[in-house]
Structure 1
Amino acid sequence: MNLTVKVIVGMALGIVVGLAINFSGLNSEGSFVQEFVTGGLFHVVGKMFINALNMMVVPLVLFSLICGVCGIGDIKLLGKIGSKSFGFYILTTAVAIASAILIAGGLGIGEGMNASSSTTFTGRDAPPLSDVLINIIPTNPINAMAQGEMLSIIFFAILFGISLLLVGKKATKLIELIEILNEAMMKMVTIIMALAPYAVFCLLAKAMAELGVELFTQLIGYVLVLAGVLLFHLFVTLLIFLKAFSGLSPRIFLKKIRNVQVFAFSTSSSNATIPVTLRTVTERMGVNNSVASFTVPFGATINMDGTAIMQGVATVFIANMYGVELGIAGYLTVIMMSVLASIGTAGVPGVGLIMLSMVFAQVGLPLEGIGLILGVDRLLDMLRTAVNVSGDAVVSLVVAKSEGKLDEDVFNNENLENSDTGDIRVNNEVRRDFAQAMSTAYKGK
């Protein structure tokens, strides 16, 4: 089995084991299973894996983006790639939430439902758009890297890459060093990915074991409609977008993106999936690193198709439940707010619920309504993250194709499906050279 199949098997087994624990009641508060299995072994292994992925995000984005800028070599072309990426991301987000409102509104979910919730939700104020724009330029780039502030890291990396281009031949050795560091980071991705099947099993088993199944009986309409709209956007909207703007095969895309979707589903984090997404679109889909190094981290920061869909469905659901008539003007406001919030709340923890609280406040819906959907949000967050990263890959392909930065032979080569385990062995020649160099250095000392 290749790595993708192993991960899918691990995910399936994790879901089965987790649901078995949940149905049997073994995960009750204070039980041995809760203390040492789901809250112990599964939690530790899963969290270590997510930390390992997050560990690579900042250096990988930094080195890859600097290499990408230097590889483009044309500042005007960089501006074209940036503007296209931004435009496509905003377009797909707007289409996502519009379709969510139309489908959810047409089905009338939440009408006549008198559900109550003991869970309350207090909305946090998202930073205003002006602050986000100002903070794109870091006062301290090292601190921005430490805090994982992606927009600031992207800005610094692009500016540093442009500066290296302007320095000229003197910077050649430094650029070569950064390229080596970037390649080393990609090898690190390969090493960590070898452990992925076991980590994905633990993540999914823990999530399913803790999921209250009784919540689905109360919120079955909301869950099914939201999941249905997410899948519609993934398998219809994004694939039509891919075919219309690039002419590439949706079937091959779905085949090659599935490992990224599995990791996004299990981690619920677009940022943590950046190393996997970046490697997949460059090595298996043929997108030039000069494009992917910009579009992937940029998309993980501002592209929130899945989150926008959740906002649309949740707004219709809560409005119907409380008997609030929003009208066309209200729903247009929701669409506009969601598109703006996808930029304005970039990099903020708990971004989905923060954006939803902003939308509710704008259209006059009670924030306590969010408490009703909190219980099932964990599982749905996994699904919408998979939609988000799929959108990142689609836009990367479309932008690369439009700029002649896509190797279609690589994209169409379905045999690359079996190459995702990578080679984590040390080359014998490199080992000999390294040993000889160390021996010489030791003798000299």
Structure 2
Amino acid sequence: MALLKLKLHWQILIALALAVVVGLLVGEDGNLFGVSFHAIFDFIGQLFLNALKMLIVPLIVSSIIVGVASIGDSDNLGRLGGKTIGYYALTSLLAIIVGLMVVNLIQPGVVDGSPEEVFGLSADAGELETQFADKGADDIVAIFLRMVPTNIVAAASATQMLGLIFFSILYGFFMTQIANQYAEVQYNFFQGMFQIMMKITDLVMRFAPIGVFALVAKTVASTGLEAFVPLLQFFFTVVLALGLHFAVTIPLLLRVLGGVSPLRHYRAVSPALLTAFSTASSSATLPLTMECVEKNAGVSNKTTSFVLPLGATINMDGTALYECVAVMFIAQAYGIELGLATQFTVVLLALMTSIGVAGIPAASLVAIAIILSAVGLPLEGLGLLLAVDRILDMLRTAVNVTGDSAGAVIIAKSEGETGILEDGGFENADPERAGP
């Protein structure tokens, strides 16, 4: 019972350690009453992955519709809203590009040997390679065609996420353009669906330690510890990409767009960044982030109270970067070279899903499942990521909060606010100053 009272990430870490030990002990030939442990692990792991698949369509549809409708309905799509959403789209896109460049350069999933031998992956790599063959720049046109599905029900059935996301954005926006008595009913329905899906997601994630145990034990039983060598390469690839976005991309934006000192900004928001790292939650860190940006950086309450809550919901630089690197790593693990068109799809979906599912538990896990389904890669590759996900979750959350806080500063400067990140501003900032 004491184990169940531990926080989820500790349960997952314990399950991971047990999985390594058990996998090494039983090996691929161990059995219980004539049933191989490998088959048991495979069954439990597949059950967990199926539960994740079950969440994808209703979760993405309800979350995006509610999110878009909430922004539009509160009259926030004016000048400040346009700047905020534009900035968040830019930083997320830059983060994804950084991740794509680093993972293509290092190629952590490229190893000697077959996917089954090295990673314990059972999907037929030859079939997958045929599926992705002959994909070129011309296929980018087909991507945009898939964004407008001829049948939304068929798109949902086939898990065609681009079409579903595009339809959900349109639905959420035009929900705010109809008579209030109808819009309120629609909004309440999808808000209710979203709340239900969050509850179901929470239920599924309670079984995550069991799913992690089964997936990792299966891999270790099949391959020993060989799969952990490329996993370390994947880990350091993500860390390097996050580091470049944190130390190069965001400081450049602060200097070029905001005209402020990046070092002063990082000093001002350092308590929020440390809290984000330790809690791995942008939402839990939000009150401290707002306090740091107002009192330490000198941004007005008007800007802070709009930009930061919106950012904690839709701006996930680190998450978007991680999704992109993870999908590319899994493709490399199967020995598949993703062409320009498929990589473009990954970029688009990483951008959209980092917005659409950012506020839910285990957002990255669900988002990666969405992208893998969309590009045709098996979900079993998710099992590889769980071994190193917790530390990376802490790092990417700190990057998420950094992007949010930088956005508040840059947008405040664009609105003409003064005294931001200036000498003495940490002590003398007026949080109620709204600028001209």
Q: TM-score range by the shorter chain?
A: 0.5 to 0.7
CA shift in 2, pair 1:95/1:216, >3 Å: same
CA distance in 2, matches of 1:359, 1:94: 16
| Partner secondary structure for residue 295 of structure 1 | helix
The match for 1:100 is: 99
1:87 and 2:86 correspond: yes
**Structure 1 contact 246–398 (Cα < 8 Å) conserved:** yes
Using a 3 Å threshold, how does the CA distance of structure 1 residues 331 and 147 change in structure 2: closer, same or farther?
A: closer
**Partner of residue 397, structure 2:** 385
Q: Secondary structure at the match of 1:109?
A: coil
The residue that corresponds to 1:181 in the other structure is: none
- Of 220, 226, 232, which residue of structure 2 is paired with 1:220? 232
Change (3 A) 1:112 1:142: closer
Q: How far did 1:307 drift?
A: 0.8
> How far is 1:240 from its partner?
0.3
Counterpart of 1:98 in structure 2: which amino acid? I
Task: Please identify runs of 4+ aligned residues in structure 1 that moved more than 3 A.
Answer: 117-120, 124-149, 214-218, 414-417
Deviation at 1:105, TM superposition (A): 0.4
Residue 280 (1) aligns with residue 279 (2): no
Alignment of 1:316-335 (within 5 A): 316-335=328-347
**How many correspondences in the alignment?**
286
How far apart, CA to CA, are the structure 1 residues paired with 2:170 and 2:122? 34
Identify if the C-alpha distance between structure 1 residues 290 and 357 changes in structure 2 by more than 3 Å, giving closer, same or farther. same
Deviations 1:201-228 (A, max 9, x none): xxxxxxxxxxx9x886451100001011
Out of 343, 346, 356, which is 2:368 matched to?
Answer: 356
Shift of 1:347: 2.7
Aligned-pair CA distance for 1:341:
1.7
Question: How well do the aligned residues superpose, as a CA RMSD in angstroms?
Answer: 3.8
- C-alpha distance in structure 2 between counterparts of 1:227 and 1:135, whole Å: 35
Q: CA deviation at 1:407?
A: 2.7
- Alpha-carbon separation, structure 2, partners of 1:346 and 1:379: 18
Cα distance in 1 between the residues matched to 2:393 and 2:122: 18
1:117–1:371 contact (8 Å) kept in structure 2: no
2-side partners of 1:259 and 1:340: how far apart? 29
State the Cα deviation string for residues 169-224 of structure 1 (Å, max 9, x = none): xxxxxxxxxxxxxxxxxxxxxxxxxxxxxxxxxxxxxxxxxxx9x88645110000
Deviations 1:382-433 (A, max 9, x none): 100000000001111110000013432x54337649xxxxxxxxxxxxxxxx
Whether contact under 8 Å (1:265, 1:386) holds in the other structure is yes
Work out whether residues 277 and 394 of structure 2, in 8 Å CA contact, stay in contact via their aligned partners in 1: yes
How many Å separate the matches in 2 of 1:342 and 1:360? Answer: 14
Could you say which residue in structure 2 is the equivalent of 1:249?
261
Match of 2:247 in 1: 235
Which residue identity does 2:419 align to in structure 1?
D
User: Would the alpha carbon gap of residues 82 and 253 (structure 1) be closer, same or farther in structure 2, given more than 3 Å must change?
Assistant: same
- Mapped to 1, the partners of 2:83 and 2:379 lie a distance apart of 36
AA paired with 1:103?
V
TM-score (normalizing by structure 2): 0.57
Q: By how many angstroms is 1:293 displaced?
A: 0.6
Q: Distance in 2 between matches of 1:276 and 1:146?
A: 29
Report the CA distance shift for 1:239/1:348 in structure 2 as closer, same or farther (over 3 A): same
Match of residue 396 from structure 1: 408
**1:321 alignment partner AA:** A
Return the match for 1:271 from 271, 283, 303. Answer: 283
Q: Is 2:119 the partner of 1:116?
A: yes
Which of residues 314, 330, 333 is equivalent to 2:326?
314
SS class of match (1:273): helix
* Contact 2:278-2:394 at 8 Å conserved across structures: yes
Deviations 1:208-256, CA, capped at 9 Å, x for gaps:
xxxx9x8864511000010111011001000001100011001111111
SS at 1:354 equivalent: helix
Structure 2 residue identity aligned to 1:318: I
Counterpart Cα distance in 2 of 1:147 and 1:276: 30
Corresponding residue of 1:412: 423
Task: Summarize the Cα distance change of 1:119–1:388 in structure 2 as closer, same or farther, 3 Å threshold.
Answer: farther
8 Å CA contact 2:331–2:337 kept in 1: the answer is: yes
Structure 2 residue identity aligned to 1:371: G
Following superposition, the deviation at residue 312 of structure 1 comes to 1.7
Give the whole-Å Cα distance in 2 for the aligned partners of 1:276 and 1:320: 39
The question of whether the paired residues in 1 share the 8 Å contact of 2:286 and 2:312 is answered with: yes
Aligned counterparts of 1:129 and 1:347: Cα–Cα separation in 2:
19
Is the Cα contact below 8 Å between 2:296 and 2:426 reproduced in 1? no
Name the residue aligned to 1:261.
273
Following the alignment from structure 1 to structure 2, what is the Cα–Cα distance between the partners of residues 323 and 224?
20
Question: Aligned partner of 2:338: which letter?
Answer: L
Distance 1:133 1:108 in 2: 37
Q: Name which of 349, 372, 381 aligns with 1:337.
A: 349
Answer whether contact 1:246 1:402 (CA < 8 A) is retained: yes
Deviation for aligned residue 1:348: 3.0
Counterpart code for 2:107:
G
* Residue-by-residue CA offset, 1:369-393 (whole Å, 9 max, x unaligned): 1110112111100100000000001
- Residue 283 of structure 1 deviates from its aligned partner by 1.0
Change (3 A) 1:379 1:146: farther
- Which of 371, 385, 401 is residue 373 of structure 1 equivalent to? 385
Query: Which amino acid is 1:388 matched to?
Result: N
Taking the TM superposition and a 5 Å limit, the aligned residue runs for 1:17-32 are none
- Read off the aligned partner of 2:246 and give its amino acid letter: L
Q: Distance in 2 between matches of 1:413 and 1:221?
A: 44
Q: Which range moves more in the overlay, 393-402 or 311-320?
A: 311-320
Report deviation, 1:145.
10
Q: What is the identity, as a one-letter code, of the residue corresponding to 1:347?
A: G
The structure-2 alpha-carbon separation of the partners of 1:142 and 1:402, relative to structure 1 and needing over 3 Å to count, comes to same
The structural deviation recorded for 1:98 is 1.1
| Change in CA separation of 1:259 and 1:146 when aligned onto 2, cut-off 3 Å | farther
* Seq. identity, %: 35
Which letter maps to 1:413?
A: G
